[in-house]
Amino acid sequence: MNTADSIIIIIPAKNEEDSIAQVLGDLKARFPYPIVVINDASTDNTVAIAEQAGARVLTLSISLGAWGAIQTGLRYALREGFEIAITMDADGQHEADSLPSLLAPIMTRKADVTIGAFTQRGSFARHVAWSLFRKLSGLSLEDLTSGLRAYTTPAIRLLASPAATLLDYQDMGVLMLLQRAQLRIQEVPISMRPRLLGKSRIFSSWWAVSNYMLYTAILCLAHGSHYFRKNKCPIKSPQPF
Amino acid sequence: MSYQITSAILGISLALIILLLIRRDRLHSRHAIWWLFVAVFVMILGIFPRIIDYIALKLGVNYPPTLLFSLGMAMILLKVLSIDLHQSQLERKTRRLAQRLALLEGDKQQHDD
């Protein structure tokens, strides 16, 4: 562990040609870690720009959404034997400067998963919704949707498995899976820039918000409790591919 | 024309359509088994609609058509549920395939460069 070549940065990108160059540039300037961009069926110049910035690009032939793209990256990380996978948004919200504090608890083996948490953001209504979902799911984390995370091998193995394939977002469904597998999740406070361009895809309209709320409530129902499901622990599956 | 002839014609033609589709290999075998069962069921009920009255009487259902409708509805619900289960399974497989394809295409590209 602790060596630079055991860490990989995974960035899911769908039509992010306006921000991806800066995101990759910031990372490359500060860290030696390899970067893999998962192109979620972009229709713009994202691929060319990312490749020029020195990232490895994997292209999904059909759009799988943010989580489907991240999982592709995790499967890649697992196959290539990386021990730590960092996920980051391509829209410039996350700062490269946050990575050292994100990695600190992992380097000292105090956590299996770290989440870059920025809790000041979000409207009052959003905070009410989060506290409701916290109750439903039994998760005690502050920032349930942050896309800036670091995963260690057991977490990568679990999240690359088919058990995590039907999720749609890298948020509560993923966290509940990790919690059920009794992995140690730790939040690290970070600062966040406003998105360089564009808005949150999840919180784009009231219709999208209601859809997302319902989706998350159902996730809590499916994964939140131990009582309704057999304890299938995918960590032990020998062959995740 | 008695109602029995009408129901027999309906039942037999539906059964024939299903059998034709199975014969032409338009239905995957696991679905074909279900539909074969439906075809037989519909044909028997079409030719002998009195069966429903008989069963309803035995089960204490006052108005036999309600038995037919609720049984039919229950079967349709079960079938739709099984379709969604199967559909979710397919979705999982499709996503994993797309991911795997992305990995393999990445390998190929690196190999070519």
ipTM of the complex, rounded to two decimals: 0.81
Chosen for mutation from B92, B96, B101 (greatest number of chain A CBs closer than 10 Å) is: B96
CA atoms within 13 A on the CB side of B24: 7
The pLDDT value recorded for residue A72 is 97
Query: Which pLDDT value is given to residue A5?
Result: 74
Average pLDDT rounded to a whole number, residues B57-71? 90
Average pLDDT over residues B2-14: 84
User: How far is A45 from A48, CA to CA, in rounded Å?
Assistant: 6
B106 and A61: CB-CB below 8 Å? no
Asked if A61 and B99 come within 8 Å (Cβ–Cβ), the reply is: no
A60 contact residues in B (CB cutoff 8 A): 98-99, 101-102
Band (A199; pLDDT cuts 50, 70, 90)? low
Q: Nearest chain B Cα to A64, which residue?
A: B95
Name the residue with higher pLDDT: A175 or A4. Answer: A175
Amino acid at A48: A
Quote helix, strand, coil % in chain A, to nearest 5. 45, 15, 45
Look at A119 and A70; give whichever has higher pLDDT. Answer: A70
- Which amino acid belongs to residue B73? M
Both tokens assigned to B38: 């439906």
Q: In the beta sheet, which residues pair with residue A36? A: A10, A56
Task: Say if the Cβ atoms of B103 and A76 lie within 8 Å.
Answer: yes
Per the CB < 8 Å rule, is B106 touching A59?
yes
Q: Is B99 close to A57, i.e. CB distance below 8 A?
A: no
Q: Quote the percentage of chain A above a pLDDT of 70.
A: 84
Average pLDDT over residues B73-95: 95
Helices (H), chain B: 3-23, 29-47, 50-59, 64-112
Confidence of residue A7 (pLDDT cuts 50, 70, 90): very high
CB pairs under 8 A between A and B: 48
From the list A7, A3, A1, A6, the residue with the least C-alpha distance to A99 is A7
A80/A104 Cα distance (integer angstroms): 23
Residue A204: alpha-carbon gap to chain centroid:
19
- pLDDT band of residue B25 (cuts 50, 70, 90) is confident
Domain ranges of chain A: 4-236
* Six token digits for residue A9: 């940065």
Beta-strand pair A113-117/A149-152: antiparallel
Position A240 confidence tier, pLDDT thresholds 50, 70, 90: very low
- Predicted pLDDT at A202: 58
Q: What's residue A156's pLDDT? A: 97
Q: Please tell me the least confidently modeled range out of A26-40, A47-61, A158-172.
A: A158-172
pLDDT category of residue B27 using cuts at 50, 70 and 90 = confident
Check B99 against A75: CB less than 8 A apart. yes
Residue A2, pLDDT score: 52
Domain ranges, ordered by start, for chain B: 1-48, 65-113
Phi first, then psi: give them for residue B49, nearest 5 degrees.
Answer: -65, -20
pTM confidence score: 0.82
- Does residue A228 have a pLDDT over 70? no
Contacts of A212 (CB under 8 A, 6+ apart): A169, A202, A203
Q: Which residues of B touch A38 (CB under 8 A)?
A: 102
List chain A residues with CB under 8 Å of B95. 64, 68, 71, 165-166
Rg (CA), chain A: 17
Q: Report the mean per-residue pLDDT for chain A.
A: 84
pLDDT in tens, B37-53: 888 888 888 888 889 89
- Which residues have CB under 8 Å from B74's CB, separation 6+? none
pLDDT (tens digit per residue) in B90-111: 999 999 999 999 999 999 988 8
* Predicted pLDDT of residue A233: 41
Class of domain A4-236: alpha beta
Mutation target among A62, A63, A80 for the B interface, most CBs of B within 10 A: A62
Q: In Å, what is the CA distance from A25 to each residue of A19, A30, A54? A: 10, 9, 9
Residue A134 predicted with pLDDT over 90: no
Q: Which two tokens stand for residue A25?
A: 């540039």
Range from A32-41, A169-178, B6-15, B63-72 that averages highest in pLDDT = A32-41
Cβ contact A57–B102 (<8 Å): no
Nearest CA in chain B to A38: B102
**What value does the mean pLDDT take over residues A153-179?**
91
Residue A100 has pLDDT above 90, yes or no: yes
Contact status, residue A176 vs residue A105, Cβ threshold 8 Å: no
In this predicted model, what pLDDT tens digit does every residue of A42-87 receive, in sequence order? 999 999 999 999 999 999 999 999 999 999 999 999 999 999 999 9
Q: Which residues of B touch A71 (CB under 8 A)?
A: 95, 99
Distance, CA of A44 to CA of A32 (rounded, Å): 27
Contact B96 A165 (CB under 8 A): yes
Handedness of CA A216, A218, A219, A223 (dihedral sign): positive
Name residues whose C-beta falls within 8 Å of residue A96's C-beta, 6 or more positions apart in sequence: A26, A27, A29, A30, A31
Which positions in chain A have a beta carbon within 8 angstroms of at least one beta carbon in chain B? 38, 56-62, 64, 68, 71-72, 75-76, 79, 162, 165-166, 241
**Cβ neighbours around A23 below 10 Å, total:** 28
